[in-house]
Amino acid sequence: MQNKKLYKLAIIAPTPLYYHVPLYRRLESSSEIDLTVYYCSDEAIHGTDIERMYETKKNTVDKINLLRGYHYMFLKNYSLNPSCLNWPFGLMNFGIWNDIKSGKYDGVVLQSWTNLTWWIAFFACLRYKTPVLFMTDANVAAESSKSKFKIFLKKIILGNFLFENASGFLTSGTTNEELYKYYGVPPEKMVRVYFSWGYEYFLEKAKQLNPKRDGIRKSLGIEKNDFVILYVGRLSKEKMPMLLLEAYRKIKNGNKKLFIVGDGPMRKEFEQCINNLSIKNVILTGFQPREKLGDFYVAADVLVLPSEFETWGIVINEAMCFSLPVITSERVGASVDLIKNGYNGFIFSVGNADQFSEAIEKIMNLPKEGRQLFGQRSFDIINKWLSEADPIMRILNLLNTIKNEK
């Protein structure tokens, strides 16, 4: 007879996301956690979120893999404009109230507070005395640009009510923790679970593809002496793709290629700028499925992410699995924890094209051994990051603490 698991845990997620699913599988495999994942939307299964975010018609979703290996349920969404991308009424899953009432959970994990469903779930937890845990990658950097009135309201709504009544916070890193501290959350309520799961796939891909690097570069039209700058993400305003073009133009070394792996609302403007200014060797690949990303990571010499604001920047973790140096703006959440300036990459002031191009040139001008050293340091940092984090044990410890305090 199977032993009863110690804790019943529910996670309320917007839609199946590939970078969260590995955590669900690990939780499911625990002998102590009885997990149910509630999905508010099925749009990721159909690829409609990708189509909207990247403005692409490519439906490349691995539906079976997204739902494999853990217990889940899809909630009915009553929204007239349904999507997890529509704030604040894109998710209206009223049934979650009864699921929390009947579930008798030891903890309910909420992945946001920006849609109606999260608030329904939160009030249900209050009503039925169910501990609430928040797991987001929200970033403190964005708070500096908000008005004093908006900060005042957030301190009342988030700090004095929502966070005050939460039992714990599963944090993604330093900038996420700083946000919670900014709104009054004490450190003892926070445990780091990082983005520390699911990278076995990329680490294994790197092992497979690294020996084939020369062949992959050749297939992508990259010459032996080309220095390849890689950007992976949406072409949208907050990602600052035009700053990337400006910095690229400033680079004096002619053996350069810029690969843009992604799509989005600024693609036409981006292409027009390339054509109008006759910028050479910029290759737009369009949106690429996850299983194709390894080819671009292994072919590149540096990953860049110039965003005006980025809560984390998951592509940084992925690129570091391929031993890539990384250059980001100071507003990218992952930069605080994963990039050491002048050691495995560079961090530049947001919006500063001169600093950005200088950082790229510093890596370009390194001898081959120097670039490899930067890349090896990236690889060592991400491996240390992953090995030090045991999200299951930390979540179990938090649930145990909450149980003992009740």
Of 287, 281, 285, which is closest to residue 248 (Cα–Cα)?
Answer: 281
Q: Give per-residue pLDDT as tens, 125-140.
A: 999 999 999 999 999 9
H-run or E-run covering 152: helix 148-154
Asked whether the CA dihedral 267, 271, 277, 280 is positive or negative, the reply is positive
pLDDT of residue 335: 95
Q: What CA–CA distance (Å, rounded) separates 223 from 376?
A: 23
Q: Model's pTM, two decimal places? A: 0.92
What residue ranges do the domains of the chain occupy? 7-196+389-405, 200-386
Choose which CATH entry (3.40.50.300, 3.40.50.1820, 3.40.50.2000, 3.30.565.10) describes domain 200-386.
3.40.50.2000
- Which residues neighbour 406 within 8 Å (Cβ) at sequence distance 6 or greater? 131
Confidence of residue 398 (pLDDT cuts 50, 70, 90): very high
Q: Give per-residue pLDDT as tens, 305-356.
A: 999 999 999 999 999 999 999 999 999 999 999 999 999 999 999 999 999 9
Residue 1 has pLDDT above 50, yes or no: no
* Mean pLDDT score across all residues of the chain: 93
Residue 228 has pLDDT above 70, yes or no: yes
Residues 42/47/49/50 CA torsion (nearest 10 deg):
160
In this prediction, residues 197-202 reach a mean pLDDT of: 83
Residue 98, Cβ density class (10 Å: 0-12 exposed, 13-18 middle, ≥19 buried): exposed
Structure tokens at 354: 């001169």
| Fold match between domain 7-196+389-405 and domain 200-386 | yes
pLDDT of residue 58: 58
pLDDT of residue 198: 74
Lowest-confidence region among 48-62, 141-155, 255-269, 382-396: 48-62
3-state secondary structure of 82: coil
Q: What CA–CA distance (Å, rounded) separates 265 from 383?
A: 35
pLDDT of residue 390: 83
Q: What CA–CA distance (Å, rounded) separates 326 from 319?
A: 8
Q: What CA–CA distance (Å, rounded) separates 171 from 160?
A: 19
Q: What CA–CA distance (Å, rounded) separates 104 from 40?
A: 20
CATH class, 7-196+389-405 region? alpha beta
3-state secondary structure of 359: helix
| CA 267 vs CA 87, 237, 270: distances in Å | 24, 11, 5
